């Protein structure tokens, strides 16, 4: 017999896949309390705050608390409420490691201190005004791989983008790491969804947008999902899931290749086995994992990964929610079902390379050894690779070459390869972008690092340490990036009157938009490097991150 909660859960998750929803039956009313405005959602009435021309509604539950018996289970619908609920403060983040102060991805020291709990299925809505305009909707899925991050970081606060583009912006929190991607399916049928509940949360959030966003001045038929790094990877995984089908019109994948190589559940069982070992739990007592405190469970998860020298948890091809590989013919067709933008930054690898500052003084001999190890090639071929990068203008110093080769292997080549596959599939247009802006801080050693484009896409340059000293050039680059993304969300083509004509990618012209303080069109950018890397077939993103190009040879 199926419990009532499980029936409700299945109905809720399946409901997110409905393309034609029932009438929303929602309304918006002006609030009379200062600068507050009240809207009515399907769950109840919410009061948001207006500031600098944008209304913000924060911490809105799109699914129920996932703690206790809901842990490792698909999301349940949030409870309804009576009266008016204030939506003034961000909701909780999923439990995760706090980022080290001063690190490349650290938040500003004066950032609001977040709360962490399993009651983390919340989202934030930023809208220029409540009316019947039906604006394009841009739903941002945060990065941090599958293990960390949130939709409330200062860099992704949605007010500036909403005001700039006259769009409705939504940012989302969801389950991560052990809470969102723990493969326990082999331990009992009750855990059948466990490896992908973080993705099911995102599908539930998109279902909430479909059902409620009109009350906030948005158009449920014009939803663009965009995300950087892990966020882009989650978009790839969502494309493979029937639960997300029909819930968005466009995608923007910013440096997100982490779902191109997903694994079947059997390949990740050893991580769950090690988790049980760390907690001294027999497999027969797996249900007790739902009773352990969140902090203890997360700590055991971290220890299990360390014991195995394994990477983070991630979605799995479970045959239930994800049935195909992303790079299979069917996987590419699913990704190609809607128009998309694929993008990279100038020097993706510098955050990892600069975690060891001795890389700045890398010798030519060590670079040669690292290229040989990375690509598993003999010395003559490795020298050919380095010479080709030198000839392509990547620079002459071993550091410059290391940055360019590692950035290509880590991100640019996988992203371009999938762009080519999508273009060949031909179902819907796909556009290739290169965010070429480079930071001047610390003498320019950071270049245009991974994630540098996020605050530029939101118009939040004050939240970016890399934008310091960028002045007008940084502002112009931000405006160009926002113009392209807003135009894409608005009418499906990433250009307006201020941007050059940007044609979809095809294998003949290999056209891309180079976005900086000015925007230019390029054809087969980095052609020599691309051809070399295509021949060498770099490892997947996550292998490369832990591999010799980034961390050196032990």
Q: Which of 18-22, 222-226, 353-357 has the lowest mean pLDDT?
A: 18-22
Structure tokens at 86: 């204030």
Residue 378: Cβ within 10 Å count: 9
Give the per-residue pLDDT at 132. 85
Tell me the residue range of the domain where 291 lies.
266-308
pTM score, two decimals?
0.92
Tokens of residue 32, six digits? 């009379």
Q: pLDDT per residue over 140-174, tens digit each?
A: 999 999 999 999 999 999 999 999 999 999 999 99
For residue 28, pLDDT beyond 70: no
**What end-to-end distance do the CA atoms of the chain give, in Å?**
55
Residue 109's pLDDT is what? 55
47-87 residue pLDDT tens: 999 988 899 999 999 999 999 999 999 999 999 999 999 99
**Average pLDDT value for residue range 241-249:** 98
Instruction: Decide which of 99 and 125 is more confident.
Output: 125
Indicate the range of 8-22, 280-294, 298-312, 332-346 predicted with least confidence: 8-22
- Higher per-residue pLDDT: 198 or 102: 198
Compute the distance between CA of residue 347 and CA of residue 446 in angstroms, rounded to an integer.
8
pLDDT of residue 339: 98
Report the Cα 435 to chain-centroid distance in Å. Answer: 16
**Do 551 and 356 contact (CB within 8 A), yes or no?**
yes
Query: Do 345 and 450 touch, CB atoms closer than 8 A?
Result: yes
Listed range (90-104, 475-489, 496-510) with the worst mean pLDDT: 90-104
pLDDT(333) > 60: yes
Residue 108: exposure state from Cβ atoms within 10 A (0-12, 13-18, ≥19)? middle
Q: Is the pLDDT of residue 29 over 60?
A: no
**Contact at 8 Å (CB) between 175 and 126?**
no
C-alpha angle 74-268-173 in degrees, rounded to nearest 5: 40
> Quick one: which of 162, 230, 246, 222 has its CA closest to 198?
230
Counting residues of the chain whose pLDDT is more than 70, the rounded percentage is: 88
Furthest-apart CA atoms within the chain: distance in Å: 75
Q: Has residue 523 got a pLDDT over 70? A: yes
- Using left for φ > 0, alpha for ψ between -120 and 50, and beta otherwise, residue 207 falls in alpha
Same domain? For 246 and 299 the reply is no
State whether 361 and 230 are in the same domain.
Answer: no
216 Cβ contact partners less than 8 Å away, ≥ 6 residues apart: 28, 39, 55, 57, 125, 127, 130, 168
For 470-510, the DSSP string reads: -HHHHHHHHHHHHHHHHHHHHHSSS--TTS---PPP-TTT-
Residues 128 and 187 in one domain: yes
Please report whether residue 41 resides in a domain: yes
- CATH no. for residue 210? 3.40.50.1820
Quick check: is 203 in a domain? yes
pLDDT (tens digit, 9 = 90+) per residue, 435-491? 999 999 999 999 999 999 999 999 999 999 999 999 999 999 999 999 999 999 999
Contact (CB, 8 A) for 298 and 95: yes
Q: What is residue 104's predicted lDDT score, i.e. its pLDDT?
A: 47
Cα–Cα distance, 390 to 313 (Å, whole number): 37
Structure tokens at 182: 């723990």
- The reply to whether 72 and 82 lie within a common domain is yes
Each residue of 346-386: pLDDT tens digit?
Answer: 999 999 999 999 999 999 999 999 999 888 899 999 999 99
Residue 116 lies in a domain: yes
Q: Does residue 27 lie in a domain region?
A: no
Mean pLDDT, to the nearest integer, of 249-272?
A: 94
Decide: helix, strand or coil at residue 428: coil
User: Which residue from 216, 210, 207 is spatially nearest to 135, judged by alpha carbons?
Assistant: 216
List beta partners, residue 169: 126, 138
Distance, in Å, from the CA atom of 222 to the CA atom of 313, rounded to the nearest integer, reads 32
For residues 389 and 544, which has the higher predicted lDDT (pLDDT)?
Answer: 389
Pairwise CA distance, residues 506 & 240, whole Å: 23
User: 399-416 pLDDT, tens per residue?
Assistant: 999 999 999 989 999 999
Tell me if residue 122 falls in helix, strand or coil. strand
Cβ count within 10 A of residue 365: 9
The Cα 255–Cα 453 span in angstroms is: 10
Q: What is the DSSP letter of 116?
A: B
Question: Are residues 428 and 381 part of one domain?
Answer: yes
Determine the Cα–Cα distance for residues 10 and 537; give it in Å rounded to an integer.
41
**Do 182 and 206 reside in the same domain of the chain?**
yes
How big is the CA angle at 160 (ends 245 and 110), to the nearest 5 degrees?
Answer: 105
- Helix, strand or coil for residue 513? strand
Q: Region 419-442: what's the mean pLDDT?
A: 96
What distances in angstroms separate CA 523 from CA 405, 448, 533, one per listed residue?
Answer: 20, 21, 18
Query: Whole-number mean pLDDT of the chain?
Result: 90
Domain shared by 10 and 59, yes or no: yes
Regarding whether 270 and 186 lie in a shared domain, the answer is: no
Q: 375 and 257: one domain? A: no
In-domain check, residue 401: yes
Residue 26 is assigned to a structural domain of this protein = no
- Buried b vs exposed e over 304-336: b needs ≥16 C-beta within 10 Å? bbeeeeebbbbbbbbeebbebbbbeeebbbbbb
Q: Are residues 259 and 275 in the same domain?
A: no
Q: DSSP E strands: which ranges in 152-294? A: 168-172, 218-228, 250-254
Residues 318 and 378 placed together within one structural domain of the fold: no
28 within domain boundaries: no
For 93, which DSSP code?
Answer: B
Q: Are residues 331 and 403 in the same domain?
A: no
In the structure, what pLDDT confidence band is assigned to residue 25 with cuts at 50, 70 and 90?
Answer: very low
Instruction: Give the rounded percent of residues in the chain with a pLDDT score beyond 90.
Output: 79
Q: What is the 3-state secondary structure (H, E, C) of 232-269?
A: HHHHHHHHCCHHHCCCCCEEEEECCCCCCCCECHHHHH
The structural domain count of the chain equals 3
Distance CA 134, CA 131 (A): 8
In degrees, rounded to 5, the angle at the alpha carbon of residue 440 between the alpha carbons of residues 447 and 470 is: 115
459 lies in some domain = yes
């Amino acid at each position: 017999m199926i419990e009532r909660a499980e029936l409700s859960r299945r109905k809720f998750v399946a409901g997110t896949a409905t393309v034609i929803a029932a009438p929303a039956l929602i309304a918006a009313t002006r609030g009379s309390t200062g600068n507050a405005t009240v809207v009515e959602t399907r769950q109840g009435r919410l009061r948001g705050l207006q500031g600098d021309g944008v209304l913000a509604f924060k911490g809105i539950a799109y699914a129920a608390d996932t703690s206790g018996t809901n842990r490792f289970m698909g999301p349940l619908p949030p409870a309804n409420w009576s009266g008016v609920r204030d939506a003034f403060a961000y909701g909780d983040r999923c439990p995760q490691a706090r980022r080290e102060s001063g690190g490349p991805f650290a938040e500003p020291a004066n950032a609001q201190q977040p709360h962490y709990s399993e009651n983390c299925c919340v989202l934030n809505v930023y809208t220029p005004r409540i009316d019947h305009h039906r604006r394009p909707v841009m739903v941002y899925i945060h990065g941090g791989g599958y293990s960390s991050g949130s939709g409330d970081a200062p860099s992704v606060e949605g007010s500036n983008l909403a005001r700039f583009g006259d769009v409705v912006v939504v940012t989302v929190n969801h389950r991560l790491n052990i809470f969102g991607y723990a493969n326990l399916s082999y331990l009992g049928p009750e855990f059948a969804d466990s490896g992908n509940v973080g993705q099911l949360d995102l599908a539930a959030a998109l279902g909430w947008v479909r059902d409620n966003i009109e009350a906030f001045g948005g158009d449920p038929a014009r939803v663009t999902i965009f995300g950087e790094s892990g966020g882009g990877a989650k978009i790839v995984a969502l494309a493979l899931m029937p639960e997300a089908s029909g819930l968005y019109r466009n995608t923007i994948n910013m440096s997100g290749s982490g779902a191109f190589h997903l694994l079947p559940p059997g390949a990740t069982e050893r991580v769950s086995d090690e988790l049980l070992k760390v907690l001294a739990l027999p497999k027969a007592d797996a249900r007790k994992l739902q009773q352990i405190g969140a902090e203890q469970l997360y700590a055991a998860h971290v220890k299990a990964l360390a014991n195995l020298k394994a990477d983070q948890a991630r979605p799995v091809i479970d045959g239930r929610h994800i049935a195909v590989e992303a790079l299979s013919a069917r996987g590419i067709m699913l990704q190609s079902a809607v128009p998309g933008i694929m993008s990279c930054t100038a020097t993706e690898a510098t955050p990892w390379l600069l975690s060891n500052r001795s890389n700045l003084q890398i010798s030519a001999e060590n670079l040669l050894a690292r290229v040989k190890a990375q690509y598993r090639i003999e010395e003559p071929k490795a020298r050919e690779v380095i010479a080709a990068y030198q000839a392509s203008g990547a620079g002459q110093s071993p550091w410059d070459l290391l940055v360019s080769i590692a950035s290509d292997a880590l991100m640019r080549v996988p992203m371009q390869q999938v762009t080519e596959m999508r273009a060949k599939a031909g179902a819907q247009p796909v556009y290739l972008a290169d965010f070429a802006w480079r930071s001047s801080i610390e003498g320019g050693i950071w270049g245009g690092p991974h994630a540098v484009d996020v605050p530029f896409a939101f118009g939040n340059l004050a939240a970016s340490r890399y934008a310091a000293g960028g002045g007008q050039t940084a502002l112009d680059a931000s405006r160009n990036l926002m113009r392209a993304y807003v135009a894409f969300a608005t009418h499906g083509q990433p250009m307006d009157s201020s941007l050059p004509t940007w044609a979809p990618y095809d294998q003949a012209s290999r056209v891309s938009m180079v976005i900086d303080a000015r925007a230019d069109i390029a054809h087969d950018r980095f052609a020599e490097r691309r051809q070399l890397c295509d021949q060498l077939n770099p490892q997947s993103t996550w292998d490369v991150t832990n591999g010799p190009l980034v961390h050196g040879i032990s």
